[in-house]
Structure 1
Amino acid sequence: MPSTHAPFLESPDLSVPQLHRVMEIFFNTFGISQDRSGAVEISPATISEQKLALFKEYNVSRISVGVQSFLQTELRTIARGTTTNQITSCLEMVKQLNFPVTNVDLIYGIPGQTPDTLAESLKTALSFDIEQIFLYPLYIRDLTPLKGKSISENALLLYQTGRDILLGNGYVQDSMRMFRKPAPNDLKNSDEYCCQEDGMIGLGTNARSVHYATPYAVGQTQIKQLIESYIKLDQNDFKTAGHGIILSMKERKRRYLIKSILKCRGMKKQDYFKYFGSDCESDFVQIHRLKEKGLLVDCGTHIKLTEKGIMYSDAIGPFFISKAIGRRMASHPAI
């Protein structure tokens, strides 16, 4: 499949010289053109004007800010080391540099969160004239301070609250999580990243490419050790991937299907046939089952999630995962 885009870096607490080194690896070792779309995820606690200027120099097209919440009490609940002042300062710096796209990540389902507190965070995000807002459910991961805690019981209501606020403010919903400002006349931007068809390379200790990931850590000490070992690698070490599996044709079909139908625009059946030479509904009986439950609908040219299906996307994706891949995921502590 064609590779026309390259979202590429999650930026932990790296110095400017270290970020220069990562950029050099990306552009020189991998030979990626600066003309391609690139994204950097930043933390308000560690960003600086110098780092943002470096990203601007390398023509980064999208800055994603890990805000999670604009309320200090909720940030403490999810063990985030950022303050609301740092978040505000970060967004002001980002907007001043006029990156083509600024994204803000927000979390719903935080213990103690209410529709009113989520609405307050969204109101603050909207005041910054943000191009994209990702609304994530709270995930409880191994190795994190939240392990053993439970997501808020009113998570579904919180999702609906956030969705309705964003749609009411003119945003377009691309998936369960992603909301964006519409393009002029809502025409599809030809430079839009399409995860199921375009290539992607992820660099950084917590970044993952579409196909493989390097070692994972959460604690600051372990993260710094990974960073130190990463930047000491020889150039030849970047020519091969040390992690991952080669997907069979059946798994490639599953991956394409999952990444396509979880987008609101759905999967074009003709595109599936073009890539794989088979009919998607014949390949996956799960499609028929989800139609019967009112979660998927056949629009003729496309198979799309219904409004209910979008709401339950986090259950629909795993529904298509094979048992073999499910066992691999279960054995990995970071997934």
Structure 2
Amino acid sequence: MSHVDSLRSWKDHLISEPYRSYLYSYPHKTAYRTLETKLPLAELWSRELADTFFLYMHIPFCGARCGFCNLFTLPDKRADVHAEYVDALARQAEQWAPFIQSKPIARFAIGGGTPTLLAPDQLDRLFHIAQHVIGMDPSQASISVETSPETVTPERLTILKSRQVDRVSMGIQSFVASEAEAIYRPQKPQEVERALELLKQRQFPILNLDLIYGLPGQTLQSWLYSLERALSYEPEEIFIYPLYTREHTIVKPEQIRKSGEDRRLEQYQAAREKLLAQGYTQYSMRRFAKAEAGSDKALLSYGCHDEGMIGLGCGARSYTNSVHYSSRYGVSRSATASIIADYVAATDYTCADYGIVLGKDDQRRRFILKSLLHTEGLALDSYAERFAAPALADYPELNLLLDTELAAIEGGALRLTPEGLMYSDAIGDWFISPEIRALMESCVVS
């Protein structure tokens, strides 16, 4: 076989399953295990090199589990359960504060689940914890909150405005009722439109909307209809996600096949073309944003591949330079409820006992993936400075991306081409280390 034929064969194999996994972090959470020895957080954070920190709070409650969701979340609307959980998060924050107050918070995000499912007083309390326990300064931190159409109310939006929230992100997925029903999402188009009207009235600096393509029964025409409805509200940011189906999701792969030909690549290309024509800039396979969008604050800097991520709440992950840790992971209702109950009952949150210790190889792979899968690409000088060796010498297999025109070197950075961006998920999956892949494949999730 000639060299050209070998490259073509490798590329064909790589892109044969473009949606095999969604690698939004590295290592993936299914690589985490019970640590051999509990690690005191005071020691972990005293060694952290990042100049600024990212504070994340996880609220693992939602109204219902959507058919595509395998996140750590529990359908539970009980106010007393929410209040007990926020009490636990406050205890955790108080215990962690001495370890993490040495450097300023550059970003603060509240996700889930659905944080705005909380009663207004509990929602407001999260900001109080961030500011008065952790020490986050809202005048210099980018603040983001996730919401859902049914939980958008004037009272909750008033809290977000008063707390200087810069970005509100709302998952819509589809404006077509039958498509929302196909993924077990309890929303009506009129509910979505009501929430969008309220959000636009409040004029948050960034409104982000999430949409999903490849839904059962979705056509190219209905997909573009949803995209056009979203664009009519002029959001500063749009994320488009292909539908992922996994072992623990309600929607299964065969439901996509039953609905006809898998059109996800075609739908992605059509959406990309429309968004670029509407003046959006592409920043990754999923993220499109208006280049001028952003806060008027004098924000502190934080790099996407930096460590120093502080995860408060059950299900949140924390990243230091060499250790990633969290609570245990589950998807089923019984497993998730049990893990949350243990978290709420705990009295000591000062050690990491579940996670992964990153060796040098996976630290380098993380740096590469967190850079390469975004349009700014992997800055080769930055890699060499950090790891004392050229990236292409450490990982000569990256040349395969160059030789197949899935990537190019421009301005000192290794960047995915438009075709490479389209296959970001396959490229991310390909670059997982054998050790991490073995952990992921042997993970038993309940």
Show the counterpart of 2:107: 6
Change (3 A) 1:213 1:83: farther
What SS does the corresponding residue of 1:243 show, helix, strand or coil? strand
For the residues of structure 2 that align with 1:58 and 1:106, how far apart are their CA atoms? 27
Give 1:106-255 correspondences, 5 Å limit.
106-151=211-256, 153-183=262-292, 194-197=303-306, 199-203=308-312, 207-209=316-318, 211-218=324-331, 230=343, 234=347, 237=349, 239-255=350-366
- Tell me, in whole angstroms, the C-alpha distance in 2 between the residues paired with 1:245 and 1:6: 24
CA distance in structure 2 between the partners assigned to 1:317 and 1:204 by the alignment: 28
After superposing the two structures, state which structure 1 stretch, 148-157 or 84-93, moved more. 148-157
Please give the per-residue CA displacement for 1:32-76, whole angstroms capped at 9, x wherever unaligned: 332311211111122322222222222221111011111111111
Q: Label 1:52 to 1:201 Cα distance change in 2 as closer, same or farther (>3 A).
A: farther
Cα distance, 1:94 vs. partner?
1.8
Match 2:172 to one of 67, 70, 76? 67
The question of 1:49 aligning with 2:151 is answered no
TM-score (norm 1): 0.87
TM-fit CA distance, 1:154 = 1.0
Q: Does 1:79 align with 2:128?
A: no
Q: Which amino acid is the alignment partner of residue 173 of structure 1? A: Q
Distance in 2 (alpha carbons) for counterparts of 1:195 and 1:101 = 18
Bigger Rg, structure 1 or 2: 2
C-alpha RMSD over aligned residues: 2.7
The 3 A distance-change label for structure 1 pair 231 and 197 is same
* Corresponding residue SS for 2:234: coil
Partners of 1:56 and 1:224 in 2: CA distance: 32
| Alignment partner, residue 18 of structure 1 | 122
Mapped contact 2:52–2:302 kept (Cα < 8 A): no
Specify the SS of the correspondent of 1:165: helix
Seen in structure 2, the aligned counterparts of structure 1 residues 192 and 31 have a Cα distance that, compared at 3 Å, is closer
**Counterpart amino acid of 1:156?**
L
For the pair 1:89 / 2:194, whether they are aligned, the reply is yes
Alpha-carbon distance between aligned partners in 1 of 2:315 and 2:202, rounded to the nearest angstrom: 25
* Structure 2 counterpart SS, 1:55: helix
SS of the residue aligned with 1:141?
coil
Alpha-carbon distance between aligned partners in 1 of 2:230 and 2:301, rounded to the nearest angstrom: 23
Cα distance in 2 for partners of 1:222, 1:275 equals 40
8 Å contact kept, 1:64–1:104: yes
Change (3 A) 1:267 1:153: same
Q: Which structure dedicates a bigger proportion of its chain to strand? A: 2
Whether contact under 8 Å (1:10, 1:204) holds in the other structure is: no
1:33 aligns with 2:137: yes
1:273 aligns with 2:394: no
* TM-superposed deviation, 1:227: 5.7
User: What code does the residue aligned with 1:177 have?
Assistant: R
Q: How far is 1:161 from its partner? A: 0.8
Q: Distance in 2 between the 1:274 and 1:221 partners?
A: 47
Select the residue among 322, 327, 330 that pairs with 2:438.
Answer: 327
Does the Cα contact within 8 Å between 1:7 and 1:201 map onto a contact in 2?
A: no
Residue ranges of structure 1 left out of the alignment (5+ in a row): none
Paired residue secondary structure (2:212): strand
TM-score (norm. length: structure 2): 0.67
* Percent pairwise identity: 36
Q: State the SS of the aligned residue for 2:288.
A: strand
Structure 1 counterpart of 2:109, one-letter code: F
- Structure 1 stretch 197-206 or stretch 270-279: which is displaced more? 197-206
State the Cα deviation string for residues 154-188 of structure 1 (Å, max 9, x = none): 1100110111110111110001100001228xxxx
